[in-house]
Amino acid sequence: MSSTEQIRPLKDVWLKPRRVFRELAALPIGITDYLLAAAQGAATSVMVYRIQVADPHTTAGEILASSFLLGPAGGVASLYLFAAIYARLGIRAGGKHVRNQVFHVLAYGGVPVAASLVLWALTALLVGEPAIVNTPSASLDGFVAFVLRVQLGAYLLMVFWSVVLQVMGFSEIWGLETRKSFGVWVVGQFAALLAILFLSFVIAILFPGIVPSAPN
């Protein structure tokens, strides 16, 4: 790709993330960032419901309704949380505090996770409700079980690729070595997990019943 060729962020970020994040550096946070955050939240919500041992009476429609109503809001909120954490970590690692660039890296770096919604849709068309509702493997026929394993493997690959894109993005915007950027990424994930657990604990105390109990 030549330096004068027009960048197409949603397409080019898959294989040319550094060029994409350089192009996005001067742009403010926009609607595409929020849409990508919302899509990531919905995809993550579907996956959480899929892998947990859910109530046997929960239907695919109820799971999808919850994922697409609450998931997008959670995706945007979590992206703000991660952006705040990584902005601080970037400064400590020697980078510059440019909030919009960090937000772009998290949003566009998560394009593979957002794209996994298409994967869920295709799987649901092939096997139906087991693509959404966690079903005991003993009750699945061989074809359905195979499709679900392939789908899970593809989803994990997309998550891995999102990590690669975000690490390369941080390396680009902060001017750090890739190895150091990966270390910052790991620390940020751990810090965000602690922050989410703390917020959940506080909310559970102040507003009993809002935070659902862990599945059996």
Model confidence at 212: pLDDT above 50? no
Rounded average pLDDT over 97-116: 91
Rounded average pLDDT over 173-186: 92
Q: What is the pLDDT of residues 143-160, one digit of tens each?
A: 888 888 898 899 999 999
What pLDDT score does 188 carry?
93
What pLDDT score does 54 carry?
53
Long-range CB contact pairs, 184-187, < 8 A, 24+: 184/86, 184/89, 184/90, 184/93, 185/86, 187/89
Please report where in the chains the tokens 């993005």 appear, as a residue.
169
pTM of the model: 0.85
Q: What is the pLDDT of residues 59-106, one digit of tens each?
A: 777 778 878 888 899 899 999 999 999 999 988 888 776 788 999 999
What pLDDT score does 214 carry?
44
